């Protein structure tokens, strides 16, 4: 299976901060990388697919980049509703795998 490693596992930030989360794949996955946001007690929500494509309805302060093995999720100006846990996930292989998550806290 392809292993996905996220860093950091948690971070503290303030409103209007620029936040960057990284995700590394154990082998090249081209651009088959997705990002999700999960709030407590809720199902995950797709933010970014294919490494950099913004899912419909997701604010433009979210952006993704990368290809091959290294990927980044950036929140350009953190808003109060963005405090949540973020997961990366690869769909290059039919055996889907997720990163361990990054909790964004105040």
Partner 1 sequence: QLHLQESGPGLVKPSETLSLTCTVSGGSISSSSYYWVWIRQPPGKGLEWIGSVYYIGTANYNVSLKSRITISVDTPKNQFSLKLNSVTAADTAMYYCASQYQLGLNSWGQGTLVTVSS
Beta carbon of residue 52, minimum distance to partner 1 (angstroms, whole number): 12
The residues binding partner 1 (CB under 8 A) are 1, 32, 34, 36, 38, 43-46, 49-50, 55, 87, 89, 91, 94-101
Beta carbon of residue 58, minimum distance to partner 1 (angstroms, whole number): 11
Nearer to partner 1, 76 or 97 (CB): 97
Instruction: Decide: 31 and 50 in contact? Cβ < 8 Å.
Output: yes
Residue 9 dihedral angles phi and psi, to the nearest 5°: -80, -25
| CA separation for the pair 41, 92 (Å, rounded) | 28
Beta carbon of residue 65, minimum distance to partner 1 (angstroms, whole number): 16
Nearer to partner 1, 17 or 22 (CB): 22
Nearer to partner 1, 32 or 82 (CB): 32
**What are the angstrom distances between the C-alpha of 49 and each of 23, 33, 68, 75, 80?**
14, 6, 15, 15, 23
For 90, the enclosing helix (H) or strand (E) is strand 85-90
């Amino acid at each position: 299976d392809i292993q996905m490693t996220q860093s950091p596992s948690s971070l503290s930030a303030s409103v209007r901060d620029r936040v960057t989360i990284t995700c590394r794949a154990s082998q090249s996955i081209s651009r088959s990388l997705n990002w999700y946001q999960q709030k407590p007690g809720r199902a995950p929500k797709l933010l970014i697919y294919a490494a950099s494509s913004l899912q419909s309805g997701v604010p433009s302060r979210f952006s993704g980049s990368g290809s091959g093995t290294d990927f980044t999720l950036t929140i350009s100006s953190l808003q109060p509703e963005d405090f949540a846990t973020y997961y990366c996930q690869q769909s290059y292989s039919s055996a889907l795998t997720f990163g361990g998550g990054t909790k964004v806290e105040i």
